[in-house]
A = this chain, B = another copy of it.
Amino acid sequence: MAEEVKSRGKLFVISGPSGAGKGTICSELMKDADPAELCLSISVTTRAPRAGEHDGVHYYFINEEEFEQLRANDGLLEFAEVYGHHYGTPKQKVIDKLNAGIDVILEIEMQGALKVRKTYPGGVFIFILPPSMAELRKRITGRGTETQEAIDYRLSQALSEIAYIDKYDYAVVNGKLDEAVDRVKAIIKAEHSKVTEYIYKMIEQYKEDE
């Protein structure tokens, strides 16, 4: 039967400028996700936890020495330095999930996304855009956790990151959160309908049926 054909999971890389809302979109996605179908990769980081962030949930918070060891042992799918802190994706966990047929979402900064694009071209790359630069400024300012210098730096970074959008497969404008989440869900569903090796296997089974 067609339904029995097992395919590998797909890697979805969700990226975009700070303040565009990629973290919120990923949290919403995971709310009604079946863990046997979709999981979120948890990154390691050397930055300190923000209020409300928990180790093993939002990030694995590690120190510089631990990070260096992981990197030296080829244990990271990608890593990047952002605002002076290190971030990275533990490689083996992602591979295990994909091999088990589970989709994996990586929510990472652009530097990391571009590295994954090179090492894992089979991934699906989604860029989250703010509806406008004015709105992005409002969101970053509204956090209340940043100095004016940090805000200006984030905005100029956002503009230069958006220039790399052609390295991505999809762009999702995060104006209304539920619409943006629906759009990412549609992308995941559509990607699983692409004509691939999986479909060719099904076809072989039709021939055996007859």
Contact with B along A144-167 (1 / 0, CB 8 A): 000000000001000100110110
Contact, CB under 8 Å: A129 / B165:
no
Taken together as a complex, chains A and B put the C-alpha atoms of A193 and B166 apart, in Å, by 13
Name the contact of A195 in the complex, choosing from B2, B127, B186, B190 (C-beta under 8 A): B127
Q: Do B206 and A193 touch (CB < 8 A)?
A: no
Q: How many identical subunits does the complex contain?
A: 2
Interface size on A (CB < 8 Å)? 43
Question: Residue among A126, A169, A190 with the most chain B CB within 10 A?
Answer: A190
Q: Which residue of B lies closest to A172 (CB)?
A: B193
Q: Is the CB of B203 within 8 A of A165?
A: yes
CB contacts (< 8 Å) of A194 on chain B: these are 169-171
Residues of chain A in range 36-61 having any CB-CB distance to chain B below 8 Å: none
Which residues of B sit under 8 angstroms from A183, Cβ to Cβ?
189-190, 193
Q: Encode contact with B along A166-189: 1 for CB under 8 Å, 0 otherwise.
A: 101111110100000011011101
Which of the listed residues A165, A202, A206, A207 has the most CB atoms from chain B within 10 Å of its own CB? Answer: A206
